[in-house]
Amino acid sequence: MSSPKFIALADYHEYDSDEMNRRAASFYEQMRRRRTVRQFSNRPVPREIIEQCILAASTAPSGANLQPWHFVVITDPSAKRQIRVAAEEEEKEFYYKRAPKEWLEALTPLGTDEHKPFLEIAPYLIAIFEERYGRLATGEPVKHYYPKESVGIATGLLITAIQEVGLVSLTHTPSPMKFLNEILGRPSNESPFLLLVVGYPAEGAMVPDIKRKRLEEVCTFV
Ligand code: IYR
């Protein structure tokens, strides 16, 4: 067993209380403007921006620091087309056969359906994979701890980074998503976690008129 090695916490920065207040309010202002968007423009976005956002996402804490995530950035029109076809097939099953009435009712305010044109229109699809276990160079499996929680946190950071740079995203979860492994050639230790659609909103994009819960509804101090 290797022994731990420590270095100084050199990058930590403390703010005075005024500055802390200002930053908290300004970050909340920025985040409350985030909306899930389903109407995308095909306007290109420089690859470097997406790379930086993924670097930000991969600063997420993870179980035993094993960083059990893999991001596949899809720009190839033929891969996008295949993903759209496979996703729409699953969604058709979902909306017309699999989804219980209760679920469809819960989705009514969002106005979603089985058509997913944004999967071909948006400049980037980011398929986020959860490595359920890792692999050594020798092929030997490595146990991962809390992979789902870790990938969930990384995905949250990615969505936040995308908001920060002025782009919009859609968390899309066609279910099941196993087709992503086939289309993208990912190994069997990776499970698709989420498909994030990223780009600029279409001109005149509309979003559902829905509300967020108040602080008192989501938070209790004891
Ligand atoms: N995956 C479907 C249905 C759907 C499910 C949930 I939960 C949503 O919040 C939104 C949609 C679709 O993408 O249409």
> What pLDDT digit, counting tens, does each position of 94-104 carry?
999 999 999 99
CA distance 34 to 165: 11
Hey, which of 39, 98, 108, 112 would you mutate to test ligand 1's pocket, going by the most ligand atoms within 8 Å of its Cβ? Answer: 112
In a domain? residue 66: yes
- How far, in Å, from the CA of 15 to the mean position of ligand 1? 40
Q: State phi, psi for 75 to the nearest 5 degrees.
A: -125, -20
At 93 the pLDDT is: 96
In a domain? residue 141: yes
Is the CB of 112 inside a 6 Å radius of any atom of ligand 1?
yes
Residues 6 or more apart from 196 whose CB is under 8 A from it?
A: 125, 126, 127, 128, 155, 158, 159, 162, 169, 170, 171, 172
- Give tens-digit pLDDT for 155-212: 999 999 999 999 999 999 988 899 999 999 999 999 999 999 999 999 999 999 999 9
> Would you call the peptide bond into 176 cis, given omega within 30 degrees of 0 as the criterion?
yes
Is the CB of 21 inside a 6 Å radius of any atom of ligand 1?
no
| Residue 49 in this model has a pLDDT that exceeds 90 | yes
Question: For the residues 4-9, what does the mean pLDDT come to?
Answer: 97
Residue nearest to atom 9 of ligand 1 (CA): 107
What is the total count of domains within the chain?
Answer: 1
Least confident of 43-52, 73-82, 112-121, 174-183: 174-183
Residue reference for tokens 């699999």:
98
Q: List 195's β-bridge partners, or say none.
A: 127, 172
pLDDT band at 2, cuts 50/70/90?
confident
In a domain? residue 23: no
Amino acid at 40: F
In a domain? residue 156: yes
At 176 the pLDDT is: 87
CA distance 39 to 169: 10
At 175 the pLDDT is: 85
Question: Quick count: other Cβ atoms within 10 Å of Cβ 17?
Answer: 7
pLDDT, mean over the chain: 97
Question: For the residues 69-93, what does the mean pLDDT come to?
Answer: 97
Is the CB of 107 inside a 6 Å radius of any atom of ligand 1?
yes
At 1 the pLDDT is: 74
Give residue 89's domain range: 61-201
Q: What is the CATH number of the domain that holds 98?
A: 3.40.109.10
Residue nearest to atom 6 of ligand 1 (CA): 107
Question: Quick count: other Cβ atoms within 10 Å of Cβ 49?
Answer: 16
